Amino acid sequence: MPAIPRRVSAGTALAAVLLITSSCTGLDQASASGVTRQDLAAEMAGQLAEPSVPAYTATYRLAGGAKGRTVQTSDPARTAHVFPTGRLINTAAAVTLCTRPAATPGSSEPSQPVGETVCTATDPRRSGGLPATTGMIEPDAVAAMLETAAIDPAVEIEQQDTTLAGRNAACLRVRGADDFDTCVTVAGVLASFTGHVDGTAVEMVLVDYAEETDEADFAAPLGARFVDRRSK
């Protein structure tokens, strides 16, 4: 397996480019300073993996105008993704997906009436389990896509800077095996993503941000039916 390029140390590539310029010409200046496009992608992936804030709530506008939010704390380490038809809660105890769709014909699960919320718990893991059909993508999934782009010499990467929800963000336009655009704030919070995930178009843009969380986002909705699929 090819080695992942070094991550630019704290100081850092993206921060330096933010200071240099607010246009795509920043890549040329960054390159002159020894910072490559691969460095930028790897650095952005590292920021997403380890945000510099201990807790935050990021609210996004999704495709079609609906809203979703990602809520994260570092102590304890946990994340919740709240989307129009449910939520995914990731803690040290379990990854719990709560949804309220209609029952799927032929399903072996008990009938799920329209409007009923079912929460299914599986074994804990760092990330994964958020279906693209929710209209959202996990920061770790974006980080993985950036890591892949960082080690592919055929990928074309363009950089620009913007402000979303009052937060400065660095953005990368990636064109290669997977085409996508993403922005990340200087604190390492996902600010936007446009691309395809498992064949499904995903578009999310940060519209509100707060460095605080609501405990209710980490709990299953009241009255939900619980299905435990964790290994014993």
* Domain extents in the chain: 13-53+145-210, 55-136+212-228
Beta bridge mates, 185? 169
Q: Are 131 and 138 in contact (CB under 8 A)?
A: no
Amino acid 101: pLDDT: 63
Quick one: average pLDDT of 142-168?
95
39, 186 Cβ separation under 8 angstroms: no
Q: Which of the four pLDDT bands, split at 50, 70 and 90, describes residue 41? A: very high
Q: Which residue has the higher pLDDT, 204 or 4?
A: 204
Tell whether the torsion through CA atoms of 157, 158, 164 and 168 is positive or negative: positive
Express each pLDDT in 113-125 by its tens digit.
Answer: 556 899 999 999 8
Residues in the chain: 232
pLDDT of residue 9 exceeding 80 = no
Q: Are the beta carbons of 169 and 184 closer than 8 angstroms?
A: yes
H/E element, 156 = strand 156-164
Structure token digits, residue 21: 């310029």
